[in-house]
Every structure is written in C-alpha cells, then in structure tokens.
Amino acid sequence: MMETAIASPPADRIAFDDFLKVDIRVGEVVRAEPFPEARKPAYKLTIDFGPEVGIKRSSAQITRHYTLDQLNGRKVAAVVNFAPRQIGPFMSEVLTLGFPDADGEVVLVGVDRDATIGGRLF
C-alpha cells in the first residue's frame, strides 16, 4: 500500500442532505492559460458545464502534473455552487477538484468514460 505525505483524519459525519447541497458537475476545459500573477503556480481554466450551468472560470494549482496542452478538451469535476472567489486579479467561479499526490501536489479528479457535460455527481 502506498503511503501518502498528505494524510488527514476523516471529516465529521454529515447528513446526506448536506452532501446534496454541494453541486459537483463534470465540465470540459475549453481554454487553459498561464496565471503568472498567482502566488503559487497555477493555471486559469475556462470550463464548459453545458447549458444549465454555462461556461465558468477556475484558478487551479495543477502546474506540476499538467501542461496547458494536456488540459484543453479534458473533462474535470468541479463544485459549481460556491460563491466566486477573488484570486489576485482573477475571479474564480468554480472549484476544480483534485486529490494530493505524495508531495501534496494536485492530481485532478478524472472522468474515465464519456460523461455528459454538465452532469451532476451522484
């Protein structure tokens, strides 16, 4: 079994209704750009979540494992109902999801089949 440098205890138990409040959708990266103004290395992502949610932007600290070319057309999972967050000069509208590797660097949550853009996690 692989050990990880980023271990944490489980979060407090929540009710299923609390989970349903978090709107996690699959989207497709339509544009990935450098974000040199970020404090930590990051990219600016423009993600299409389909007609119900629309096109949203996200700042993602994923430069260690991904190049800009690898991100265009990639499907990602993101929380789409958090309030927008100002990241330097950039307004991040969604939280792109990932897990830490052994060094604490972000590995994106993957979609391994052709999921419908805008589909909600269940």
Mean pLDDT of the chain: 93
Tens of pLDDT, residue by residue over 60-95, are 999 999 999 999 999 999 999 999 999 999 999 999
> Which pLDDT band, with edges at 50, 70 and 90, does 1 fall under?
very low
> Domains in the chain and their CATH numbers?
21-108 (2.40.50.140)
Angle at 1 between CA 105 and CA 111, to 5 degrees: 50
Tell me the longest C-alpha to C-alpha distance in the chain: 42
What's residue 112's pLDDT? 87
Handedness of CA 37, 43, 46, 50 (dihedral sign): negative
Model confidence at 13: pLDDT above 70: yes
